[in-house]
Structure 1
Amino acid sequence: MNSPCNANQPIGNVMTKQFSLADLSKLTETELVGDPNLQISSVDNLESASEQDASFLSNPKYNEAMKQSKAGVICIDRKTTLVEGKNFLVSDNPSRTFQLIAEKILASTGQASGFKGVHPSAVVHETATIGKDVTIGPCAVIDAHAKVGDGTEIYPHVYVGVSAKVGENCTLYPNSTVRERCQLGNRVILQSGAVIGSCGYGYTTDPKTGRHTKLEQIGNVILEDDVEIGANTTIDRARFKTTLIRKGTKLDNLVQIAHNVELGENNIIVSQTGIAGSAKLGNNVFLGGQAGVVGHVSISSNVKVATRGGVSKSITQPGIYGGSPVSPMAEFNKRQVLLRKIGSFVKELASLKKRIENLENS
């Protein structure tokens, strides 16, 4: 049997590994249909793939593209009809299979930072505590009494504030910020531009002058284990307690989390969503893009809110919701159907009105 890694191939500045289909089947625990000795050295989409590429089909609407594809192997599910003369890796989740292959083929060379250890231009306060095997890139700043756990990688121009804590094996990408007293668990990822612990948005207004006076936000933010925060996403520190993101929750780019919010475990919050102050979400909550949640409401576990959904009151029952304000999806869809017919309804009402007027005048 061929070695799992037979050769290195360059793609741009990234080195890749070459695998036989037999190796890929074993590595991904999938059923192979086709030539076990064919070598795969890269990945691509169905339309562009060559005989050296792996690709995947996760949506039946691309069946024709799959049939025409020149890919060396295609990851499919068990319901997809096989095409004679092609190679397939069959599983329950072809998208996941493809992801595993991509990660195996694309080596880390050219992806991880070239800087190791503490760069000479980094500024680490003498009272900070730095764990083992930590990377701190150029121009990063670790402030007084901050703690950074073992194996964490801090990219250039990152700021870790006074008395902040960063757990083990975290990754803080360039220009991300962890403000004072905020805490990150283990394996937390901050994408570029993420700000953890920005000041909550709170003011008092003088009724006579209309002048706004800032309410100092003296709480913090806690991100539990395995949380990922997208690029340019901001999470405000609490006014005096904690803004809390529980383990496994993933936030997309450009998300705003206000002060005192609590997100449960394994939430998915999609881009441009805003959650106002003191809202509380349960576990496995999904908020589609541009959704909005008003302050001081709660959302039950296992709730999905569709894109642009507006949550103006607490949601107490699991389910799928849509619209603004949100309602159960079945109700929302019925209203949408009626709205699409509103033009004909107006014409019908006008016709009925005219008939009534004619009857009254006769």
Structure 2
Amino acid sequence: MKLFTIQEINEILKGEIIGVTNQKISGPEELQKASIHQITFIGSKKYLHLWEKSNASVAVVNDNLVVEPGENRALIKVKNADLAMAKILELFNPSPPHFDTEIHETAVIHKSAIIGSGCKIGANCYLGKDVILGDGVVLYPNVCIFDETKIGNNTVIWSGTVIRERCEIGSLCIFHTNVSIGADGFGYRPSEDGRGLIKIPHIGNVIIGNEVEIGANSAVDRAKFSSTIIGDGCKIDNLVQIAHNCVLGRSCIMAGSSGLAGSVTLGDGVIIGGSSSIKDHVTIHTGAVVGGGSGVMNDVAAGKTVVGYPAADARDMFKQWVLLRKMIKS
């Protein structure tokens, strides 16, 4: 078990200690659930009332909040408690699953595949023809990497993930369980006789930048031609669909159960709320925000926030909702 004094923790956070405690900290926990050997977090004044009854010995607190530590308890005041929490969670993060051997004997690896130094390949993994793994790549059991795919240094791919042929993956990426990269896009047209559907071939690929994280059971489809592109630093939640020929800029965020139809373009830093749907060929420009559950039918200007179904300017939509409530009450 890892144990740290408040002074050792504050060496990482660089905050201001208020109060005194001799308790050593064994881990983080919520205010209501914390024990005497745990550290907790207060990032908003609405949670301040919970500190008095909490059993935690230490709380990391936003420096604009007024709160007393109490007897044998202490506060670490920081500019942003959420960012401080990320550092503490990393401090107490358990070790990842253990590999007995660097390459498991049941892995199937084509003779033409190139494997960088320090790679770990788990049981029942498959690497196809001309696959290239950079240094330090980790493939947990039951990962499939198909022909001519390239993966950059120190990328981690969890079990059940399938990366189809000719994809290009950057360095320091994380793909969680059962991610699908490079499957066919969804494209059909009515047949000439009107009695069936004709499948449109998708012969492009997927290109993913550096430090991209993709959550469990999400899918990024390959392009009809050219590439579906995910920019550096994008963070994709669980159960997200990114269709063929979409292009995401740098550091975009897509929350769970959201989806992009074909050929959607996101600028840098776009945020897509959970369960939102974006129509095909729409462009959402840099810094725009789409509220959860929204349906975007048209382009969104840079820096704009839209909500609703169909989505509209947030301020206008909120005014409509207020008027609607007044009409219902009257």
TM-score for the superposition, normalised by structure 2:
0.96
Aligned partner of 1:330 in structure 2 is 315
Q: 1:99 aligns with which of 86, 89, 101?
A: 86
Runs of 5+ unmatched residues, structure 1: 1-8, 10-16, 346-362
Residues paired across the two proteins, number:
328
When residues 74 and 185 of structure 1 are mapped into structure 2, their CA distance, relative to the original with a 3 A threshold, is same
Shift of 1:60: 2.1
Given residue 92 of structure 1, which amino acid in structure 2 is its aligned partner?
K
From 125, 143, 148, the counterpart of 2:133? 148
Matched, 1:76 2:61: yes
Identity fraction in percent: 32
* Shift of residue 321, structure 1, vs aligned partner: 1.2
More helix by share: 1
Is contact 2:143–2:158 with CA below 8 Å preserved after alignment? yes
Equivalent residue in structure 2 for 1:279, among 264, 267, 289: 264
For residue 209 of structure 1, what is the aligned residue in structure 2?
194
* 1:341 aligned partner, one-letter code: K
Q: Which amino acid aligns with 1:340?
A: R
The Cα shift of 1:206 comes to 1.3
Whether contact under 8 Å (2:288, 2:301) holds in the other structure is no
Residue 38 of structure 1: aligned partner? 23
Structure with max Cα Rg:
1
TM-fit CA distance, 1:103: 1.9
Compared with structure 1, are the counterparts of its residues 305 and 225 closer, same or farther at alpha carbon in structure 2 (3 Å cutoff)? same
Name the residue aligned to 1:131: 116
Residue 216 (structure 1) shift: 1.2
Find the aligned partners of 2:328 and 2:67 in 1 and give their Cα distance. Answer: 47
Provide the alpha-carbon RMSD of the alignment.
1.3
Residue-by-residue CA offset, 1:22-65 (whole Å, 9 max, x unaligned): 11111221211122643111221111111110111123222111
Residue 88 of structure 2 is aligned to residue 113 of structure 1: no
Preserved CA contact (<8 Å) 2:229 2:245: yes
Matched letter for residue 300 of structure 1:
H
Q: 1:90 aligns with which of 53, 56, 77?
A: 77
Question: Is the 1:42–1:106 Cα contact (8 Å) retained in structure 2?
Answer: no
- Displacement of 1:214 after TM fit? 1.1
Match of 1:14 in 2: none
Q: Report the more deviating stretch, 129-138 or 92-101.
A: 92-101
Q: State the 1:213 CA deviation.
A: 1.6
Who is 2:149 aligned against? 164
- Cα distance change on mapping 1:322 and 1:132 into 2, 3 Å: same
Deviations 1:189-213 (A, max 9, x none): 1010100001001112114232112
Match of 1:315 among 296, 300, 309: 300
Question: Is contact 1:123–1:139 with CA below 8 Å preserved after alignment?
Answer: yes
> Which amino acid in the other structure matches residue 160 of structure 1?
I
Task: Work out the CA distance in 1 between the residues paired with 2:302 and 2:86.
Answer: 34
Query: Quick one: distance in 2 between partners of 1:70 and 1:219?
Result: 56
1:188 partnered with 2:162: no
1:296-316 CA deviation, whole Å, 9 max, x = no partner?
111110001101111101112
319-328 or 268-277, larger mean C-alpha shift: 319-328
The CA deviation at 1:285 is: 0.3
Whole-angstrom CA distance in 2 between matches of 1:205 and 1:71: 64
Q: How far 1:159 moved relative to its partner?
A: 0.4
Give the residue type in structure 2 aligned to 1:228: E
Amino acid at match of 2:76: L
Partner Cα separation in structure 2 for residue 313 and residue 198 of structure 1: 27
SS of the aligned residue for 2:59 comes to strand
Match of 1:219 in 2: 204
SS across alignment from 1:39: coil
Report how far residue 76 of structure 1 moved.
0.4
| 3-state DSSP of counterpart to 1:68 | coil
> Equivalents in 1 of 2:302, 2:41: separation in Å?
36
Describe the superposition over 1:193-251 as per-residue Cα deviations: whole angstroms up to 9, x where unpaired.
10000100111211423211211111000110000111000011001110000000000
- Letter in structure 2 aligned against 1:284: G
Match of 1:198 in 2: 183
2:40 is paired with a residue whose SS is strand
DSSP-derived class of the 1:19 partner:
coil
Within 2, Cα distance between the matches of 1:210 and 1:241? 31
Distance 2:161 2:99 in 1: 18
Any idea what SS the aligned residue of 2:232 has? coil
Does structure 2 conserve the Cα–Cα contact (< 8 Å) formed by 1:303 and 1:320? yes
Partner of 1:54, secondary structure, is strand
User: Which residue in the other structure is 1:62 paired with?
Assistant: 47
Unaligned stretches of 5+ residues in structure 2: none
